[in-house]
Chain A
Amino acid sequence: MSILVDKNTRVLCQGITGHAGGFHTRQCIAYGTRVVGGVTPGKGGTSAEGVPVFDTVAEAVEKTGAEATMIFVPPAFAADAILEAADAGIRTIVAVTEGVPVLDMVRVAAVLARGRARLIGPNCPGVITPEECKIGIMPGYIHKAGPIGVLSRSGTLTYEAVWQLTRIGLGQSTCVGLGGDPIVGSSFVDLLELFEADPQTEGVLLIGEIGGTAEEQAAAFIAGGFSKPVAAFIAGRTAPPGKRMGHAGAIISAGKGTAADKLAALAKAGIELAESPAEMGAAMQRALARAAMREQRDGRVG
């Protein structure tokens, strides 16, 4: 088991005839992902990377039975591509595109809230269920199948974390890059719910960063009854305050959004923290060991 995608997931690429879309479709196919088609308006009837290209997502879904899509279209067309995929009945939409206007995402989020599609991203590396299905731009070989779920707002920092896990023998159930934009389709909490229900996942490594309150919400959710051990790292302890955030942007979070606040909220929720980015894998190991000890102790008492 895993979350979101597995070896049976049929995947489309929107923007398959572009440079990045074509390159990463090849990489995904080489990894073993079941890519069944691509979509580029105006190029329907041709083929690319060995799969048929369609003019619309609706047609692609009808002809291939696709259930997931990865989006590589330019930022100006990303909102349209996401909503087209949702309208066609795609359930898992992975938007890799970086640079989507914030108000476009406001509109996308409002429409998606009324439907059943799940959006990952935009501005994210994608989703991978190791040894089964890779949808995105992450290097496949650093991953290994196993019990750890990984959730992150970052790209290369996630690879760093996954590589640490793999090297200490902790494989991954599914790794999800949530995206680095102010408004993204799925939050830590959305995916923690899926990991809670996934029997393969025995622990979760959460990688956050400064800005917004997604980590604080995750901490509250975990404290409220997430049953599996969690370790976390927060990037940006040394980031200068106010450099990225506008004046009123800071007020929405009402004093929240700093690394210190996030670390405090996570610690209060009993989450194992990695002090250094070199210790993310080790923190996950400590969280698992602590949970095992607790189980043993409770088992003996009970």
Chain B
Amino acid sequence: MKIHEYQAKRILHESGVRVPRGVVADSPQAAAGGFDELGGPLAVVKAQIHAGGRGKGTILEHPEQRGVQLVRSAGEAAEVAARILGQTLVTVQTGPAGRRVRHVLVEEGCQVARELYLAIAVDRAAARPVVIASSRGGMDIEKVAAENPGLVFREPFDPDAGLMPYQVRKLAQKLALAGPAARAADGFMRALGRVFAGNDCSLVEVNPLVVTADGELLALDAKISFDDNALFRHPDLAALRDLSEEDPAEARASETGLSYVKLAGNIGCLVNGAGLAMSTMDLVKLHGGEPANFLDVGGGANVDQVTEAFRILLEDGDVNAVLVNIFGGIMRCTTIAEAILAAYRSVGFRAPLVVRLEGTEVDQGRRMLAESGLDIIAAEGLTDAAVKVVAAAGG
């Protein structure tokens, strides 16, 4: 689960990580009030959406307006906020549709001496959290890792022991931090480690981490995401979820226990199991089609889930054929066939439907579909299913 920058900074601040002073605003008046409250000669107005690239992103309705802007008066803060709030911000990460901006963060400025990169994630192979640091801050870290792997440093640590002082000293040395900045690194980095372990984060990223002119460390930008599987033990964090930031169809799917990801093609896919669902997309592509989505109905697909899945697929205007691929294991094909028939009838199918069933009681399941009198195209095997659905989609 992702949260907004202002929420992440609040968590960091409460844990002893230094962040710029800031005020969240949902109206131009509040943005002006925020500027006055901060009391400085300048401030930064930052659009709050769950996507990166905001500084280079533009407002769809006001193409000259970026998602992040420096302002020098309360009036200017209000003007900028008026052009951003309620409008659509398009960045490299949002896709062309962009995201509606509901809040801006008005933040004090600072004297930047250096920009660094600092993040904590889980290293899967090492089965430990790892600090990732780079002397190249403010840039796309994947690009730095690809072009200058020698400038990216990693320090794995134990989540319960925490990041140790010697580990911070190692990182500080590699980042060429000296004097007060090296001393500040100890408190900053170890607090960041506590935030990660204490909140079951999947990612804490500070980019850039700024070394100020007076040798302090400051989290100028911050991104936090949490392990969805651990939210049950953090009700306070779960409450930070912003449903308006999520794809409505993907959010609806997850409520029904479906896992759905929208893609660019025209062939809707409904599959049981994540691996088989991914493979089905690959199969469609291999036979010249374009999958419209990833959709895993889980191991025990029931009538309600299949019905909701069909609704979600058919509401996607791009979809002009649907492929159901089910390997019935413990779940019998007859049960699946019943669910498909009931869902087909209640949804009002507008596109050709190809069904491939395999597994327990497959013959009876196929017979049920064939004898239903409904316009369902039966497939024998994976390849046949792919060929038939690609043909049905007119591709």
Chain A residues close to B by CB (< 8 Å): 24, 27, 75-76, 99-107, 109-110, 137-139, 141-142, 152-160, 163, 180, 182-183, 207, 209-214, 217, 233, 235-240, 243, 246-252, 254-255, 275-278
Contacts and interface: CB of A to CB of B under 8 A. Distances in A.
A214 B285 CA distance: 25
Given A104-B230, A137-B330, 15 more contacts: A102-B200, A103-B230, A107-B160, A138-B329, A159-B329, A163-B327, A182-B124, A183-B122, A212-B124, A213-B124, A235-B275, A235-B276, A236-B282, A247-B205, A255-B146
Contacts of B328: 139
A156 B329 contact: yes
B229 interface: yes
Given A101-B230, A158-B275, A110 B282 contact: no
B277 to A, nearest CB: 8
Given A251-B145, A277-B279, A102 B229 contact: yes
9 contacts: A102-B227, A154-B275, A209-B275, A212-B124, A235-B279, A236-B282, A247-B205, A248-B121, A249-B203
B383 A139 contact: no
B197 interface: yes
Contacts of B359: 139, 142, 159, 163
Interface in B195-228: 197, 200, 202-203, 205, 223, 225, 227
Q: Interface centre among B197, B232, B279, B382, by most A CB within 10 Å?
A: B279
Interface residues of B, number: 65
Q: Interface centre among B124, B128, B152, B283, by most A CB within 10 Å?
A: B124
Nearest to A211: B124
Contacts of B119: 247-248, 251
B141 A252 contact: no
Given A101-B200, A103-B159, A152 B275 contact: yes
Q: Interface centre among A75, A142, A251, A255, by most B CB within 10 Å?
A: A251
A276 B141 CA distance: 34
Interface string B290-328: 010010000100000000000000000000000000011
B283 A276 contact: yes
A157 B276 contact: yes
B225 A276 contact: no
Given A141-B360, A239-B278, A251-B142, A160 B327 contact: yes
A243 B227 contact: no
A155 B276 CA distance: 8
B233 interface: yes
Interface string B143-170: 0011001001010001110000000000
B179 to A, nearest CB: 28
Contacts of A107: 159-160
Contacts of B124: 182-183, 211-213, 252
Given A109-B127, A137-B330, A278-B381, A247 B141 contact: yes
Contact of B132 (A157, A182, A251): A251
A51 B367 CA distance: 39
A254 B148 CA distance: 11
B52 interface: yes
B128 A251 contact: no
A163 B359 CA distance: 8
Given A105-B127, A248-B121, A278-B381, A27 B230 contact: no
Contacts of B285: 237-238
A237 B282 CA distance: 6
A155 B227 contact: no
A276 B383 contact: yes
A142 B358 CA distance: 11
Contact of B330 (A139, A213, A247): A139
A100 B229 contact: yes
B275 A255 contact: no
Nearest to A76: B232
B330 A102 contact: no
B122 A182 contact: yes
B272 interface: yes
A13 to B, nearest CB: 16
